[in-house]
Amino acid sequence: MTAAIFHAGRCDFEDLVLFAVLQFFLEHRPSTEVHELLRTRIQGATPLLVACRNGHFQVAEYLITKCKADIELTGSVNFDGEMIEDAPPLWVAAAAGHEDIVKLLVEHGANVNSTTRTNSTPLRAACFDGHLRIVMYLVDHKADVEIANRHGHTCLMIACFKGHYEIAAYLISLKADVNRKSGKGNTALHDCAESGSLDILRLLLNNGAKMDVDAYGMTPLLAASVTGHAHIVEYLITLSSVSNRERIEALELLGATYLDKKRDFMEAARLWGRALDERERVGLLKCPHRSLILAFENSEEIQTRSDLERTMADPDAMRMQALLVRERILGPAHPDTAYWIRYRGAVYADAGDIRRCINLWMYALEMQQLMLEPLSVMTQSSLLSFAELFAYMLNKGITGVLRQQCNTTC
């Protein structure tokens, strides 16, 4: 009986016989039994949630109008491989883009500002996947555009991150706060920079958005450099509000991203060359690192074009430049700094150079222990990587490097 009801919510009702079967099952049951059946969850979802997820208007309408299904009863639904917990039916219909079911639920009194476990509203769900008509309908029925999820991420921010220009423009026309910050201090401009949405970024700037820093001290310009969106970087460095130092460091960081993330050595060298030329033009020289770093093979940052040309002849030296540049600009507290050091160490380990791997991983671990809380998730991940590496070395009989490392550091 229960399985038949859930099957009805999932099936395509071009064949009306199946719908007739559902009616037969429910109309010949006591109301108390129907009530309990409609509150039953399979894999976390109620029959109404299943109908909302799959867009079966006829089933949803029948369950609401004839069976008096609870339109606020939440459950778990899967979207793009992610399980959404405590999702109300309106959130599910909005996320799936089923405008007719959204209207049905609202007309029957559904709370337009109901939330999931993570405090995501139906409006945010519609913004996420670009359902403009649903967004406008919900706003017309008093949906609050400023309700953020548990991370402080607003509807405008998610529209910017997902690149939905029309939704972003509509929310801005409603006076959505273009400078609001999330729990980690990022703004809608950061989301545009990280996703590469140049048209929305321009729209935000034209509507009073400010280039502010997040919790890691990252501006939208640096965020674009870290994610490798060169078109965003090239646009932002033309703004008069961007200083010489910000412009130069954005080019340097973008070069590091091209080298490590995109493995484009020539573009990295070209960007670093541009930065060097800019430094010379404005008289802004690099400050040498406070001390040489063993993990980076005692490499020093390039200072001149001739330094760059020599470094280009050595791919390994170029890789060390990327690590040096990233640490100088982002600082040791930024997750990307330790991540790429660990990544480079893993590449050396795969190539059989265990010594270089251990040196880099030890440096990253010391950085994490200095900057993060004790046994943070990132520190635990580093320790687990060491355990896996040591197990591999013992299994392969590679113990000499480990003994030598202990004698050096202990």
Query: What does the block give as tokens for 388?
Result: 């896996």
Predicted confidence (pLDDT) per residue in 78-91, tens digit: 998 999 999 999 99
Alpha helices in 89-219 (DSSP H): 89-96, 99-107, 122-128, 132-140, 155-162, 165-173, 188-195, 198-206
Query: What does the block give as tokens for 216?
Result: 């890691």
Q: Is pLDDT at 397 greater than 80 in this prediction?
A: no
Say what the pLDDT of residue 1 is.
Answer: 46
| Cα 152 → chain centroid | 14
Task: Provide the CATH topology of domain 1-144.
Answer: 1.25.40
Mean of all residue pLDDT scores within the chain: 90
Question: In terms of pLDDT, which residue wins out, 372 or 28?
Answer: 372
The domain locations on the chain are: 1-144, 243-331, 338-410
Predicted confidence (pLDDT) per residue in 377-392, tens digit: 888 888 888 888 888 7
DSSP secondary structure code for residue 286 in this structure: P
Say what the pLDDT of residue 404 is.
Answer: 57
Confidence of residue 21 (pLDDT cuts 50, 70, 90): low
Predicted confidence (pLDDT) per residue in 187-235, tens digit: 999 999 999 999 999 999 999 999 999 999 999 999 999 999 999 999 9
Please list, residue by residue across 325-345, b when 16 or more beta carbons sit within 10 angstroms of its beta carbon and e when fewer do: bbbbbbebebebbbebbbebb
Listed range (44-48, 119-123, 215-219) with the worst mean pLDDT: 44-48
* DSSP E strands, 46-123: 75-79, 82-87
Listed range (109-123, 140-154, 359-373) with the worst mean pLDDT: 359-373
Query: What does the block give as tokens for 53?
Result: 């997820």
Give the integer Cα–Cα distance in Å for 75 and 240. Answer: 50
Say what the pLDDT of residue 171 is.
Answer: 99
Say what the pLDDT of residue 137 is.
Answer: 99
Amino acid at site 293? I
Q: What is the mean pLDDT of residues 321-349?
A: 95
Cβ neighbours, 10 Å, residue 238: 8
Q: At what angle do helices 47-54 and 99-107 cross, to 10 degrees?
A: 140
Q: Percentage of the chain surpassing pLDDT 70?
A: 90
Cβ contact 159:171 at 8 Å: yes
- Own/partner pairs for 27-36, CB < 8 Å, 24+ apart? 27/66, 31/68, 34/67, 35/68
Query: What does the block give as tokens for 280?
Result: 């010379």
Question: In terms of pLDDT, which residue wins out, 390 or 349?
Answer: 349
Say what the pLDDT of residue 13 is.
Answer: 45
Q: What is the mean pLDDT of residues 66-75?
A: 93
Cβ contact 160:192 at 8 Å: yes
